[in-house]
Amino acid sequence: MEINDDPVAMATTAPMAPVTAQRLVRTDLESSIPKPYLARAMAAPDMEHPDGAPEHKAHGMSVLQQHVAFFDQNNDGIVYPWETYTGLRDIGFGMLFSLIAGLGFNITFSYPTLPGYIPSLLLPVYIANIHKGKHPSDSGTYDTEGRYSPVNFENMFSKYGKTVPDKLSLRELWNMTEGNRVSFDLVGWILNKVEWGAVYIIAKDDEGFLSKEAMRGVFDGSLFENLAKKNAPKKEK
């Protein structure tokens, strides 16, 4: 097989498109992640963790399903508003935010994930169908079936991590949500900013950055499990 040495064919920046130089993509992913372009169904790898998090059990679920499964308090495959509220409280949010955000989550994602067409007043979110709730204006790390794309996860940091390579500041998170905006997608704009803003509040480090590991843990839900364990002693008191 011939190797293409054409600089245009393999270029990741274009002189007439300055944004491509401002938001760089990583070109060394294959040095650590086997087939980084291959979307993973059950693991969430990155350059530092090419196999994902082996200690985090997938239980046969897609990465997107794992993201939501933490909030399924009784493991019946359905997340009700009171379960979302309890999960948000467990990971460190206050009562008011947990009430508003929990209700908002179920209102937004209940109908798209229902197995039928008749709405339910209980606002259940069905984990089996959570891929139907994927919204535009996100990072593209989840594909439309709920798989995890390592290349898109890594590109969040190559494009927007200008201060520290493997962390994002609040300003950089804002820039990321702005860069991912899809035209006329008001709901997606709002959801993306609220979601990452909430994660920043509970997972930022002492220097005010959101680490790559914390963000990876958002995608497979392991961050929620770790925060719940960390906060458990506080709840007991």
Taking a C-beta distance cutoff of 8 angstroms, is the pair 73, 80 a contact?
no
pLDDT in tens, 106-137: 999 999 999 999 999 999 999 999 999 998 99
pLDDT in tens, 211-230: 999 999 999 999 999 999 99
DSSP states along 65-114: HHHHHTT-TT-SSEE-HHHHHHHHHHTT--HHHHHHHHHHHHHHHHHHH-
CA dist 112 → 67, 120, 211 (Å)? 17, 11, 31
pLDDT at 232: 82
Please give the residue that has the higher pLDDT: either 136 or 84: 84
